[in-house]
């Protein structure tokens, strides 16, 4: 069996947004990349990654052979408007109004958000690392989507590391507001989820649905904190 599995939220299903946060199952990769690894450039052959991405698209879009528009993050706050397939390096968020485009990104503990207008005309992905959240990437992406629609924007929050599992060094005090920090053994636990929700609400997004899965705790998803940086990344897809 080569079935792929993914999580969805009703908030996005109800407005016709094709989307999925994919588990690690159903791919061709082996070892610490087993098996639906979506990231190139590591020990996993790129050919495996290409096959895995195609399996994800076919699983979400019922056998479709559409090509992905995949962003490769650089921990900055660059947002790309995409109207064609391909790989785009150096972006931590993407949006499209083209129903032939399938947005794609990979993560393994960072926040992964799907934003969409309720008229179904615009969809976006956000890679929410601590770097990009500190630069308010969500607020900037919402503003970019708002420039393309007058409709209300809704948000789905995918699997990400929870506060209890995310330790940060003492430098956290210089990076994050104190409301996101919990002292712990001379370090801090950092609440990225609260940061995500606060940025959404500040941006005027009040309709939010969370899959409520911690990547570190749930072995269905890749976790760099659990398995090391040289391990798999799970795929997020979205299209209108």
Q: What is the pLDDT of residues 65-90, one digit of tens each?
A: 888 999 999 888 899 999 999 999 99
User: Measuring CA to CA, which residue among 165, 155, 24, 4 is closest to residue 93?
Assistant: 155
- Mean pLDDT, 10 residues at a time, over the chain (240 residues)? 90 98 98 98 97 97 89 91 96 97 98 98 98 96 97 99 97 95 96 98 99 99 96 98
Instruction: Judge whether 231 and 224 are in contact, CB under 8 Å.
Output: yes
Structure tokens at 87: 């790989």
Q: Which CATH number among 3.60.140.10, 3.50.50.60, 3.40.390.10, 3.40.50.10140 corresponds to the domain 6-239?
A: 3.60.140.10
Q: Given this model, what pLDDT does residue 2 score?
A: 66
pTM: 0.97
The per-residue pLDDT for 217 is 99
């Amino acid at each position: 069996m080569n079935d792929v599995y993914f999580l969805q939220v009703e908030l996005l299903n109800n407005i016709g947004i094709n989307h999925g946060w994919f588990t690690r199952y159903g791919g061709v990769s082996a070892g610490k990349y087993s098996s639906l690894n979506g990231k190139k450039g590591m020990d996993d052959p790129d050919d495996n990654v290409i096959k895995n991405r195609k399996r994800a698209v076919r699983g979400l879009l019922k056998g479709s052979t559409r090509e992905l528009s995949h962003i490769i993050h650089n921990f900055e706050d660059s947002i790309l408007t995409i109207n064609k397939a391909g790989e785009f390096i150096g972006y931590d968020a993407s949006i499209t109004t083209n129903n032939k485009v399938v947005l794609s990104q990979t993560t393994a503990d960072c926040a992964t958000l799907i934003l969409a207008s309720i008229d179904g005309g615009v969809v976006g992905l956000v890679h929410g690392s601590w770097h990009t959240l500190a630069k308010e990437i969500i607020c900037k992406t919402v503003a970019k989507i708002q420039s393309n629609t007058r409709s209300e924007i809704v948000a789905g929050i995918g699997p990400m590391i929870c506060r209890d599992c995310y330790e940060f060094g003492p430098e956290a005090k210089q990076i994050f507001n104190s409301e996101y920090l919990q002292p712990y053994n001379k370090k801090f636990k950092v609440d990225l989820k609260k940061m995500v929700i606060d940025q959404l609400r500040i941006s005027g997004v009040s309709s939010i649905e969370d899959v409520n899965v911690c990547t570190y705790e749930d072995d269905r998803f890749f976790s760099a904190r659990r398995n090391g940086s040289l391990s798999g990344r799970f795929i997020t897809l979205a299209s209108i």
